[in-house]
């Protein structure tokens, strides 16, 4: 029986739900947060472990703090905190409104900031802990332009995560800060994206889609063997490397392959 306590935001569907079920099967104690009560309770029922659910809106700092405090009240501590909640948008850069942009930053970036600021002091007091921020491959490589503001929020999350890790490294070597970058995942993410998702959303062949369960399995392995960052799909390492080596050549190939 694993005695670690894991908090997961955005746990009512997709990767968060799959992660909860897989960790539950391994005996982790879980505190699951999300806005959708029925779905969240369904995930808790599938987790087959000690699970607490908290209805919360990650855009609100007080809700994140209530999620943390509920974990403390139930289990006395938190060992792993997973900032997983997020939402997409289906608009290119010139189509974005100020409201669109603010919503993406609030859901995908500020929520993670609130989570980091809520839990890291607890980890510092204990001298140990593991924070995991779920980002996206689109925060590193511009494969899908209609996810513009979503990708921008995830790119910012990548930078915040790296800076936090460096801030803590010298004084708190046993606090792990990890970034997770999934690629295309066959969840309800596209259906729930603001503005919808174009039917010709993604060119097949650039990367193989993963199921939420496959992406979650990579996160489980990260919890058991912490590292600074991972791509849930190993094939993404090479795509990112090619992009970083020569952005012009990469973008030229992508443009030509789109049929434009």
Residues forming the active site:
150
Q: How many CB atoms lie within 10 A of CB 165?
A: 17
List, in sequence order, every beta strand (DSSP E) within the chain.
Answer: 5-9, 29-34, 51-55, 80-83, 129-134, 175-181, 229-231
152: alpha, beta or left? (left if phi > 0; alpha if psi -120 to 50): alpha
88: alpha, beta or left? (left if phi > 0; alpha if psi -120 to 50): beta
- Token pair listed for 113: 């900031």
Q: Which whole-number Å values give the CA distances from 124 to 118, 144, 159, 238, in the listed order? A: 11, 38, 21, 35
| Listed residue (195, 180, 187, 196) closest to 233, CA to CA | 180
* Distance of alpha carbon 96 from alpha carbon 59, whole angstroms: 20
Helical (H) or strand (E) element with 57 = none
């Amino acid at each position: 029986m694993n005695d670690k306590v894991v908090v997961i935001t955005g746990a009512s569907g997709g990767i968060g739900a799959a992660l909860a079920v897989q960790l539950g099967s391994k005996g982790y104690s879980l505190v699951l947060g999300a806005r959708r009560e029925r779905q969240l309770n369904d995930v808790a029922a599938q987790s087959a472990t000690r699970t607490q659910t908290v209805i919360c809106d990650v855009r609100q700092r007080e809700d994140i703090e209530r999620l943390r405090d509920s974990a403390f009240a139930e289990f006395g501590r938190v060992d792993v905190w997973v900032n997983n909640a997020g939402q997409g948008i289906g608009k290119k850069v010139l189509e974005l409104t100020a409201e669109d942009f603010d919503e993406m930053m609030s859901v995908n970036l500020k929520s993670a900031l609130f989570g980091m600021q809520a839990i890291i002091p607890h980890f510092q007091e204990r001298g140990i802990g593991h924070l995991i921020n779920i980002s996206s491959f689109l925060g590193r490589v511009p494969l899908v332009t209609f996810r513009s503001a979503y990708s921008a929020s995830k790119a910012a999350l990548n930078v915040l995560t790296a800076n936090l890790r460096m801030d803590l490294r010298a004084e708190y070597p046993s606090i792990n800060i990890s970034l997770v970058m999934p690629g295309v995942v066959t969840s309800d993410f596209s259906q729930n994206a603001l503005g919808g998702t174009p039917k010709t959303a993604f060119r097949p062949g650039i990367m193989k889609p993963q199921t939420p369960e496959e992406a979650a399995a990579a996160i489980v392995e990260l919890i058991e063997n912490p590292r600074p960052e991972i791509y849930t799909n190993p094939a993404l390492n090479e795509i990112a490397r090619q992009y970083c080596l020569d952005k012009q050549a990469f973008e030229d190939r992508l443009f030509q392959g789109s049929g434009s």
